[in-house]
């Protein structure tokens, strides 16, 4: 069947209309005539795979990676820079429009390739070999990565060594690799506790592979360090933090620096700042180092301990608290003249409700999900907050993920 692609969807699929309704076609671009195979039901439409591009778009380019089209890590390597930038920006614009939020969307700040410092990959032993990589889009099948133009060279380079050692844990599972300032931090997620022989062999393996810490989790428990050759350190501005295993970290160092600069600039005229969903202190610590009084709130106890250890010198106070179940109330928020939010993909719904009632003068919202950001922005707008320009940040190159940040100020009556 031949169909004409009309537009791009939120996941980078080409969208077409046929006699059977809407058809979503990965790896197809607007204006293209493509020949597709059998369609499969997907939500409110059909999904089809391109068999042949009959009429190609002038916006089509050659992918940067030989795995593109199979690996689910990237969705947009076939788009030229102009189309790609417009698509990413529209992801933000469209989410805001659906929520009825009127805001200027600035040009996207994008990182370069080969800068992603953390990945989580699947692995599986198949007879005498081990495959490791991202999964195919919409599938549990693992694409065995021979290259990855998104990740850093150190992250990609350790995969060969990991393929040799991962079967010592289990014949399948997942592995998280994070590049820190002083080595690679690796967590293996697999059923079955590591045996004594594995633990005895870990030092030599880690030394050769450049791994400063190797940890294990069965997927339900907190990661257990098997070998610590050196505490993995990450520097947030001028403040070094010892990172707990599998803790949250922005995917790229340049992207994190851009977000940090945005936050520090936004709170420049503030005195007392609450950093909510603080993680390991990527914002709280540099803001404190800039001379502000900072209170950091985070649900994960190990991450709170990391912030406390690094922030004592700067007078940072830390609170372990689940802001979904127990958001800060207006009576607790009144002492702050600025609040920084960096919630997970679900957004900050319960906390935003409390913020809107408290009337904190300044709210800096950093988000990894345009849809939940727009939902929460609508709540703040209804509570007489004015939204400033929205700044997108593209740290997940060639994927459908986009981060953004904006400043909300209470309207003066």
Cα 9 from Cα 6, distance rounded (Å)? 10
Closest CA to 258 of 267, 270, 250: 250
Q: How far is residue 47's CA from residue 65's CA, in Å, rounded to a whole number?
A: 23
Distance separating alpha carbons of residues 170 and 194, to the nearest angstrom = 9
Place of tokens 């997927």: 219
Catalytic residue chosen out of the listed positions 65, 206, 280, 368:
368
How would you label 336-346 residue by residue, b for 16+ Cβ within 10 Å and e otherwise?
bbbbbbbbeee
C-alpha 396/C-alpha 386 separation (Å) is 29
d(CA 298, CA 318): 8
Please say whether the dihedral angle defined by the alpha carbons of residues 307, 236, 249 and 370, taken in this order, is positive or negative: positive
Q: Is 65 a catalytic residue?
A: no
Rg (CA), the chain: 23
CA 108 to each of CA 89, 94, 392, 409: distance values in angstroms, whole numbers, following the listed order: 7, 15, 5, 22
The burial class, CB within 10 Å (0-12 / 13-18 / 19+), for 195 is: exposed
Burial class (CB in 10 A: 0-12, 13-18, 19+), 255: buried
Active site residue ranges: 368
């Amino acid at each position: 069947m031949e169909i004409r692609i009309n537009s791009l969807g939120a996941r980078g699929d080409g969208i077409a209309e046929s006699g059977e309704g809407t058809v979503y076609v990965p790896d197809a671009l607007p204006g293209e005539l493509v020949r597709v195979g059998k369609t499969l039901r997907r939500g409110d439409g059909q999904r089809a795979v391109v068999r042949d591009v009959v009429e190609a778009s002038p916006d089509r380019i050659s992918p940067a990676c030989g795995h593109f089209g199979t690996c689910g890590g990237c969705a947009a390597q076939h788009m030229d820079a102009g189309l790609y930038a417009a698509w990413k920006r529209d992801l933000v614009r469209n989410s805001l429009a659906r929520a009825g939020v009127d805001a200027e969307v600035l040009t996207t700040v994008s990182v370069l390739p080969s800068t992603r410092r953390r990945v989580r990959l699947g692995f599986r032993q198949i007879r005498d070999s081990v495959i490791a990589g991202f999964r195919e889009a919409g599938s549990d099948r693992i694409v065995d990565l021979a290259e990855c133009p998104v990740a850093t060279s150190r992250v990609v380079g350790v995969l060969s060594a990991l393929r040799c050692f991962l079967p010592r844990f289990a014949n399948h599972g997942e592995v998280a690799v994070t590049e820190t300032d002083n080595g690679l931090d690796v967590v293996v997620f697999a059923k079955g506790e590591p045996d004594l022989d594995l633990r005895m062999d870990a030092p030599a393996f880690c030394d050769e592979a450049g791994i400063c810490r190797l940890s294990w989790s069965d997927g339900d428990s907190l990661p257990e360090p098997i070998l610590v050759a050196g505490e993995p350190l990450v520097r947030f501005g001028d403040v070094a933090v010892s990172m707990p295993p599998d803790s949250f970290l922005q995917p790229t160092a340049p992207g994190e620096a851009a977000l940090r600069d945005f936050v520090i600039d936004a709170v420049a005229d503030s005195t007392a700042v609450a950093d909510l969903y603080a993680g390991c202190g990527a914002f709280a610590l540099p803001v404190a180092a800039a001379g502000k009084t900072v209170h950091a709130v985070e649900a994960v106890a190990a991450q709170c301990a990391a912030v406390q250890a690094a922030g004592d010198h700067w007078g940072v106070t830390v609170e372990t608290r689940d802001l979904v179940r127990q958001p800060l109330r207006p009576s607790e928020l009144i002492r702050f003249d600025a609040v920084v939010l960096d919630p997970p993909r679900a957004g900050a719904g319960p906390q935003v409700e409390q913020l809107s009632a408290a009337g904190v003068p300044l709210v800096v919202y950093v988000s990894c999900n345009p849809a939940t950001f727009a939902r929460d922005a609508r709540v703040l707008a209804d509570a007489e907050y004015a939204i400033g320009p929205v700044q997108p940040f593209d740290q997940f190159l060639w994927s459908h993920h986009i981060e953004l940040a904006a400043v909300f100020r209470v309207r003066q009556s």
